[in-house]
Amino acid sequence: MPAPQTHYFEVEMALGGFSKQYTDVKMPVWAPGSYLVREFAKNVEGFTAKAGSEVLRTEKITKNTWRVFHPKAKDFTVRYRVYAFELSVRTSFIDAAHGYLNGTSVFMFPADGQQLPSTLTVQPAPGWNQVSTSLKPTGTPFTFSSASYDELADSPIEIGTQKVLTFEANGTPHTVAMFGNPKYDEARLLTDLKWVCEEAHRVVGQNPLDRYLFIIHNIDRGTGGLEHLFSTTLSVSRNAYSTESGYKGFLGLVAHEYFHLWNVKRIRPVALGPFNYDAENYTHMLWVSEGGTEYFSNLIVQRAGFVTPEGYLADLSNGIGRVENTPGNKQQAASESSFDAWIKYYRPNENSQNTGISYYDKGEVIGAVLDLMIINETKGQKSLDDVMRYLYDRYYKQLGRGFTDDEYQDAVAKVAGRRFDDFFRKNVYGTEILPYATALGYAGLTLTNTPFTTDAALGASVSTTGGKFTVANVLRDGSAWQGGLSVSDEILALNGARVTDDPNKLLAGQPVGTPVTLLVSRDGQMKEVTFPLMAGSTQRYRIEKLPNATAQQQAVFAKWLRTK
């Protein structure tokens, strides 16, 4: 990285012992944990190869594959540059302040040598003195080893002058690499990180770590996190630490990405490893891998004492609301949402809320319902924690592979002592409403839902950018949907009067059945749309305790939220 301000990493890859006439080298098209084909090869420039001083012939044969012809040499070197100017947890970035890279977007690998070990040497830009990665150091400065390409690709690297903090959790050294200039209480941060990590360990009860690294990018607007085998990268608003809600959100992100070191990186669907870096890796189980992780991360924060049981129930109520107030929940099953992540979740459009559901949101509430069903069925002896422990022992430790869809259901049945096939068929692979009342009732809880408002609603969101009032999306089966209002319509007038504010505000408080006439500009043509206003469909959900819970219900609740 001799000129970091130009946003380029320069890569030299030395390959030895390749006896064929040619070797194909590849760059992945996606980053594990982020289910979208991102075409990382688009950022590669200046690909060349040499054997000693001899320039070798190269040919690009697919979008992400370069063929190197070396008929007389077993050892050769490949060089190329990578443009890196996208600071997200799943891509790579370098500027005058720091460098960050994910292996899949910078490092290539020999097509038939994905399992080969490698040694990596990082040459920091002038003035940079820190290289933070979970790869194992070799003893030589800024030099690390990896057992395979998978390990190399799964070990992000932060390079610069970042602040490095350390703490220990469950007997394992943990490192925190802090980029940016956030205002935070260092002692509190390290204490709370330790507490979250140790609470996360208690779920599965086994520690697979000998080291762990948090890379934290403190920037203007945080974008989330991405999990790795021995590390995670978190993108956090630099102001998140200054408010209780922001700090709680940060700890929730920590818990989510940290719990992934079990769920996904070791307890995983069979499709998610070994990876095919050339194409999509399909699974129906992201509702477990991501939604289930979100469920456990919220429990971990609650169990660690950062959220009260009442606060947790309020958060879960909001989660149920996110699911049930999304029209696409009735159109797309959690399993289908998982499978179609590659073409839908990461590529949302104006109709996404009408046609699909987030496997994060749906998986979280499925996890809660399933957990309560297991606790009740076993009279408080077992929970979803035990399912994770079984999957860890059986598939990660004993068989060294992921689990299939059916094997996940078998694991639940083994722990619960009975099968829940109807539940999976209707509520995971189907779109029937989850049995919230039954499951929450096991814990002496009830779920109520009331209309967010009794007034009529337009059923469309409107963008007010640039002084124009443009329809951004239309809610399935709402007033605008039924009346023929379309996305991208510019609303000019309402009931004969020029629009000077968001029509949703202008229509607030109108009774159901009120007729409205909108003058819109559609593709440059004036059009009048008239329809009656319908009732809004958004519901407010609330979980409350029953006043006379039985002893068994109290036992289920205590097991669930660890209140005893």
pLDDT in tens, 214-259: 999 999 999 999 999 999 999 999 999 999 999 999 999 999 999 9
Q: Same domain, yes or no, for 386 and 509? A: no
- The residue-averaged pLDDT of 191-210 equals 98
The verdict on residue 479 lying in a domain is yes
Domain range holding 69?
Answer: 4-161
Q: Same domain, yes or no, for 399 and 480? A: no
The verdict on residue 155 lying in a domain is yes
The pLDDT score that the predictor gives to residue 453 is 86
Q: Same domain, yes or no, for 485 and 555? A: no
pLDDT above 80 (res 202)? yes
The verdict on residue 474 lying in a domain is yes
Domain count, the chain: 3
pLDDT in tens, 161-173: 999 999 999 999 9
The verdict on residue 243 lying in a domain is no
Which of 118, 138, 161 is where one domain is finished? 161
pTM for the full predicted model: 0.96
Q: In percent, how much of the chain has pLDDT > 70? A: 100
Distance CA 176, CA 179 (A): 10
The verdict on residue 247 lying in a domain is no
Q: Same domain, yes or no, for 447 and 462? A: no
The pLDDT score that the predictor gives to residue 113 is 94
Ranges assigned E (strand) in 399-513: 445-451, 456-457, 460-463, 470-474, 490-494, 497-498
pLDDT in tens, 415-467: 999 999 999 999 999 999 999 999 999 999 999 999 988 899 999 999 999 88
The verdict on residue 312 lying in a domain is yes
Q: Same domain, yes or no, for 271 and 391? A: yes
Q: Same domain, yes or no, for 285 and 273? A: yes
Q: Beta 539-545 vs 163-169: how paired, if at all?
A: unpaired
The pLDDT score that the predictor gives to residue 563 is 86
The verdict on residue 192 lying in a domain is no
Q: Same domain, yes or no, for 323 and 396? A: yes
| One-letter amino acid of 132 | S
- The residue-averaged pLDDT of 95-103 equals 98
Ordered DSSP codes for 343-388 = TTTTS--TTHHHH---HHHHHHHHHHHHHHHHHHHTTTS--HHHHH
pLDDT above 90 (res 545)? yes
Q: Same domain, yes or no, for 461 and 447? A: no
Buried b (16+ CB within 10 A) or exposed e, 116-149: bebebebebbeebebbbbbbeeeeeebebebebb
Q: Same domain, yes or no, for 461 and 425? A: no
Distance CA 370, CA 389 (A): 16
How crowded is the C-beta side of 150, counted as CA atoms within 13 Å?
Answer: 10
Where do we find the tokens 């054997």?
51
Q: Same domain, yes or no, for 46 and 82? A: yes
pLDDT above 80 (res 564)? no
CATH number reported for the structural domain that contains residue 424 in this entry = 1.10.390.10
Buried b (16+ CB within 10 A) or exposed e, 335-368: bbbbbbbbebbeeeeeebbbbbbbbbbbbbbbbb
Which of 146, 161, 176 is where one domain is finished? 161
Identify the bridge partners of residue 234 per DSSP, sorted by sequence position: 216, 225
**Structural contact between residues 359 and 286, judged by C-beta atoms closer than 8 angstroms:** yes
Distance CA 25, CA 526 (A): 56
pLDDT in tens, 352-397: 999 999 999 999 999 999 999 999 999 999 999 999 999 999 999 9
Q: Same domain, yes or no, for 381 and 496? A: no
Q: What token pair was written down for 547?
A: 């006043």
**Structural contact between residues 341 and 286, judged by C-beta atoms closer than 8 angstroms:** yes
pLDDT in tens, 282-294: 999 999 999 999 9
CATH number reported for the structural domain that contains residue 475 in this entry = 2.30.42.10
Q: Same domain, yes or no, for 462 and 317? A: no
The verdict on residue 554 lying in a domain is yes
